[in-house]
Amino acid sequence: MKTNVASLAVLILAVGAVGFAQERGKGGESHPNFKPSKPPSHGPAPARNAPAARPAPAGRPAPAGRPAESAPPPQQHFADRQGHPEAPHVDGNKWVGHDTGKNDPRYHVDHPWEHGRFTAGFGPSHRWRLAGGGPSRFWFGGFYFSVADPDMGYCTDWNWGGDEIVIYEDPDHDGYYLAYNTRLGIYVHVMFLGNG
């Protein structure tokens, strides 16, 4: 009898440990050498002398309804230092990768803010906990957003049911905001879809 109880206890602990490891790894950190600092005190400045637009992350199709370019721009990298992510990120108060400017066709919106504007607060004093969904539609605090098509590949590590984000205004791309993930230090362009 004692052997059965001991075996059951070991089994329960083993299953629990596996479950804990899976939950802890949910939205796993893909850049273990990059430790994000506190959320930036402000959003990026408008881009000056913008380079050619970056291609979408590998494996992502071109956004539907966007003009095709005759030749893809040269591959550019976001990893500004060894161990930094190959994704748009913030290093201190430097918004690495937010430099393509207003004429980037990937972030053109025909009807900017067609669902209204997000007005619940910007910057590090307004932190929001993701409450569900995924890149195409996620929510927090009764507000709904979607990640811009070109940025879908940059948020595969996000935990859509618990990561903390900070929203910033985007000075270059009308209709978009920037969602900064405080756990990963990565940001993506997001569109406000309205209140729930």
CA separation for the pair 90, 100 (Å, rounded): 16
**Region 20-35: what's the mean pLDDT?**
47
Residue 54: per-residue pLDDT: 53
Nearest-5° angle of CA 60, CA 97, CA 183? 80
State the Cα angle at 168 between 165 and 173, rounded to 5°: 125
What's residue 78's pLDDT?
A: 84
pLDDT of residue 19: 40
pLDDT at 85: 85
Closest CA to 106 of 72, 76, 75: 72
Model confidence pLDDT, tens digit, residues 117-145 = 999 999 999 999 999 999 999 999 999 99
When mean pLDDT is compared over 55-69, 89-103, 109-123, the highest value belongs to 109-123
pLDDT mean across residues, the chain: 79
Q: Residue 74: what pLDDT?
A: 44
pLDDT value of position 75: 52
Cα three-residue angle 47-76-83, rounded to 5 degrees: 100
- What span, in angstroms and rounded, lies between the C-alpha atoms of 185 and 165? 10
* N-term to C-term CA, the chain: 55
Q: Compute the average pLDDT of residues 144-156.
A: 96
Model pTM score: 0.73
| Candidate from 92-101, 109-118, 124-133, 138-147 with smallest mean pLDDT | 92-101
pLDDT average, residue stretch 18-38: 50
Distance CA 13, CA 135 (A): 34
Instruction: Give the H or E element holding residue 190.
Output: strand 187-195
Q: What is the pLDDT of residue 38?
A: 86
- Which residue is it, tokens 């494996």? 59
Question: Which residues, other chains included, contact 156 with Cβ-Cβ below 8 Å and sequence gap of 6+?
Answer: 30
pLDDT at 90: 92
